[in-house]
Structure 1
């Protein structure tokens, strides 16, 4: 997929895999049961901070680079598995709004909005989350009723995850690791 074919790209925070073991294990079980990713190419778990118009990637990279240089560690917290949103295509888990996460996301949104390149219309309603399952990338999508059942089973399950972000990146919406990352800056 060529960048000029896209409508938007994503500004994301990546996380250390070691700290995500419970989520990775849960996702792997679901993926095996439904044969979601038969080629073994799983979507990388991440937190989306914002979206950028695809024709403004260079400006987005500049903003992300500047913010990364001013940002110290960003703490991430999940106290319970909390499924807050099930649509036909996604099973997502809520991420707590830590002070450092909110500070970075608010600064990013302010700068992207000032340049007119953010594609988020309702930032005040944005909820930080990690997408566990995306039917958009699954070879064999999970039916909506099964996604609802998974959400009910998952909601409220106690699991504490405390970690720090690894990097802030801009991604194309693809699973291909060679095509996905446009830029990556360690935090």
Structure 2
């Protein structure tokens, strides 16, 4: 189960990822090359004057090639910060780098590690159905038999970050993942997020996952 980011920061992050990835390029059929850019016409006078073409004798001739001749167009190259779909584990570091660049760290390292550990486990439980009973508040239906939406063997978290969510006592774990659903369709670069609130019990702070809406 995937959900669209619900906070302005998540919307910004998702938009940045899709924009940098080059939606049009990723959506093209395999093997199709992007169209070459259209060269911009350079305006030149249709009938240059004789005085401009033949300078007076005895005066140096200025090099006007840079201003009268259009520069040769450079090859058009589509560069994407995200790997193409189906790249496999080799493309995961690029996905992780994209998340970290688009959304700089803003949590203490200890909090970030805790949130990432729990966030990854929650996503795995949500997608495969394994381990839901560990978080009955996050999964109200954990006591019921639920058919897994994705196969465990083909489930993979490609990247994850934990960041603040509006206040110092709320956070969100943003995850990008891949999996094969019950119909046998494999899809990567899926996006999910889990929200947490920070609570203090007996002097120790802990992050509690919130139920999915």
Same fold by TM (over 0.5)? no
TM-score between both structures, scaled by the size of structure 2? 0.24
Whose RCO is larger (CA < 8 A, sep 6+)? 1
User: Whose strand fraction is larger, Structure 1's or Structure 2's?
Assistant: 1
TM-score between both structures, scaled by the size of structure 1? 0.26
User: Whose helix fraction is larger, Structure 1's or Structure 2's?
Assistant: 1
